[in-house]
């Protein structure tokens, strides 16, 4: 299967060589890799060019945008810039972060999953972070969720869900829309991806309300948002984040912020979330 990888990068000079090297050493190599250098002020471009000299299937695009790093919008706008340069001669497409180390069998295994069932729309592994000299699971989400750091989409699925939304919550709405359109989402616990920079490291203070806004934009409603906010705050071991998330939800609702989904999709999402909540409780 042919696949493309798009890597949005912002000031990743210290990490991107590890990511590209792990891609170069894949058993099943991609057809193309595009790094979108999004307004970096460090030597990210220089590091990428070292790989381009040796591997013609790697390329770079320099993009100028706001230097403020907020979750969602900046990274997906950069992804979209890369996507616009590609043709559709691929079987699946990957959005990857620039601070990862993939195991050598990662994409070979992804291909096997896609080939095993034509209704599988998305596949991914799990993120591990280094702590006290050991690599441990970055346990921020449920085991059936693929982290936004490394998402592989079957072409037909990617097109049907309308690509990626340039807003926080994009890596949840994509999976919910997969389920809405009856595609399967597969996670593989054997695929352990080293995440060199813990999630949210570069987010500024303005980002703390974005999670609540994202819950609103997914059509969750207040009760599901409260449950999801409490769960996430406790997982991050920062209980006071719950207040920020609720504040963000209320702020988005009072401003009349548009949803990322249609009303029909929002109803499906709420029903799906309640089913998961009831299943965990009972």
> Is residue 154 domain-shared with residue 124, that is, in the same domain?
yes
Res. 210 pLDDT band, cuts 50 70 90: confident
- The predicted structure's pLDDT at residue 181: 98
User: Of 176, 195, 214, which one is at a domain's C-terminal end?
Assistant: 195
> Is residue 60 domain-shared with residue 163, that is, in the same domain?
yes
- The predicted structure's pLDDT at residue 170: 93
The first and second tokens of residue 232, run together, are 């996430």
- In the chain, pLDDT over 90 holds for what percent of residues? 80
User: pLDDT for 46-105, tens place per residue?
Assistant: 999 999 999 999 999 999 876 555 666 889 999 999 999 999 999 999 999 999 999 999
Total count of domains within the chain: 2
The pairing of beta strand 92-96 with beta strand 150-154: antiparallel
- For the ranges 141-150, 164-173, 197-206, 260-269, the maximum mean pLDDT occurs at 260-269
User: Of 143, 171, 195, which one is at a domain's C-terminal end?
Assistant: 195
Summarize the confidence of residues 120-129 as an average pLDDT: 97
- Return d(Cα 202, Cα 28) in angstroms, integer: 32
Asked if the structure places residue 175 within a domain, the reply is yes
- The predicted structure's pLDDT at residue 64: 86
Phi, psi (rounded to 5 degrees) for 153: -120, 130
SS3 readout for 159-200 = HHCCCCCCCCCHHHHHHHHHHHCCCEEEEEEEEEEEECCCCC
User: pLDDT for 229-275, tens place per residue?
Assistant: 999 899 888 899 999 999 999 999 999 999 999 999 999 999 999 99
> Is residue 210 domain-shared with residue 188, that is, in the same domain?
no
> Is residue 91 domain-shared with residue 217, that is, in the same domain?
no
Is the four-CA dihedral 169, 192, 79, 201 of positive or negative sign?
positive
* Out of 173-187, 196-210, 263-277, least confident range: 196-210
> Is residue 130 domain-shared with residue 249, that is, in the same domain?
no
Is the four-CA dihedral 79, 194, 113, 108 of positive or negative sign?
positive
- 37 to each of 74, 98, 194, how far by Cα in Å? 12, 10, 21
- Return d(Cα 149, Cα 7) in angstroms, integer: 10
User: Of 164, 195, 226, which one is at a domain's C-terminal end?
Assistant: 195
- The predicted structure's pLDDT at residue 209: 85
Summarize the confidence of residues 23-50 as an average pLDDT: 97
> Is residue 63 domain-shared with residue 150, that is, in the same domain?
yes
Asked if the structure places residue 200 within a domain, the reply is no
- 83 to each of 64, 170, 184, 187, 279, how far by Cα in Å? 16, 16, 23, 24, 38
- The predicted structure's pLDDT at residue 206: 64
Could you list the beta-strand ranges (E) of the chain. Answer: 3-9, 32-38, 58-63, 92-96, 100-101, 120-131, 134-137, 150-154, 184-195
> Is residue 187 domain-shared with residue 226, that is, in the same domain?
no
Asked if the structure places residue 86 within a domain, the reply is yes
What CATH number corresponds to the domain at position 113? 3.90.550.10
> Is residue 260 domain-shared with residue 173, that is, in the same domain?
no
- 8 to each of 22, 54, 157, 241, how far by Cα in Å? 16, 21, 21, 27
> Is residue 161 domain-shared with residue 222, that is, in the same domain?
no
Q: Which domain holds residue 44?
A: 3-195
Res. 106 pLDDT band, cuts 50 70 90: very high
> Is residue 154 domain-shared with residue 247, that is, in the same domain?
no
234-263 per-residue burial string, b: 16 or more CB within 10 A, e: under 16: eeeeeeebbebbbebbbebbeeeeebbbee
- The predicted structure's pLDDT at residue 141: 75
The pairing of beta strand 134-137 with beta strand 92-96: unpaired
Q: Would you tell me how many other CB atoms lie within 10 Å of the CB of residue 94? A: 23
Global pTM reads 0.90
Is the four-CA dihedral 175, 176, 182, 186 of positive or negative sign?
positive
Average pLDDT of the chain is: 92
The pairing of beta strand 120-131 with beta strand 184-195: parallel
Summarize the confidence of residues 125-140 as an average pLDDT: 91
- Return d(Cα 172, Cα 215) in angstroms, integer: 9
Summarize the confidence of residues 149-161 as an average pLDDT: 97
> Is residue 160 domain-shared with residue 188, that is, in the same domain?
yes
- The predicted structure's pLDDT at residue 205: 58
- The predicted structure's pLDDT at residue 43: 97
> Is residue 133 domain-shared with residue 217, that is, in the same domain?
no
- The predicted structure's pLDDT at residue 230: 93
């Amino acid at each position: 299967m042919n696949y493309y990888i798009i890597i949005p990068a912002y000031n990743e000079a210290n990490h991107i060589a590890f990511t590209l090297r792990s891609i170069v050493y894949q058993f099943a190599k991609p057809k193309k890799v595009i790094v979108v250098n999004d307004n970096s002020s460090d030597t990210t471009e220089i590091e990428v060019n070292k790989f381009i000299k040796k591997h013609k299937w790697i390329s770079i695009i320099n993009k100028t945008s706001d230097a403020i790093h907020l979750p969602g919008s900046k990274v997906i706008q950069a992804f979209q810039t890369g996507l616009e340069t590609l043709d559709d001669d691929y079987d699946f497409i990957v959005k990857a972060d620039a601070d990862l180390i993939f195991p050598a069998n990662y994409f070979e295994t992804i291909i096997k999953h896609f080939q095993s069932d034509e209704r599988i729309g998305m596949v991914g592994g799990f993120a591990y972070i280094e702590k006290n000299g050991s690599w441990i699971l970055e346990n921020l989400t449920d085991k059936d969720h693929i982290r936004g750091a490394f998402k592989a989409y079957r072409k037909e699925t990617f097109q049907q869900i309308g690509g990626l939304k340039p807003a926080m919550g994009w890596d949840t709405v994509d999976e919910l829309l997969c389920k809405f359109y009856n595609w399967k989402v597969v996670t593989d616990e054997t695929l352990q991806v080293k995440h060199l920079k813990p999630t949210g490291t570069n987010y500024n203070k303005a980002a703390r309300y974005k999670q609540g806004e994202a819950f609103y934009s997914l059509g969750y409603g207040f009760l599901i948002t409260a449950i999801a906010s409490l769960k996430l705050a406790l997982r991050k071991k920062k209980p006071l984040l719950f207040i920020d998330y609720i504040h963000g939800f209320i702020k988005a609702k009072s401003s009349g912020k548009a949803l990322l989904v249609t009303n029909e999709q929002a109803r499906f999402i709420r029903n799906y979330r309640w089913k998961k909540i009831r299943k965990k409780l009972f």
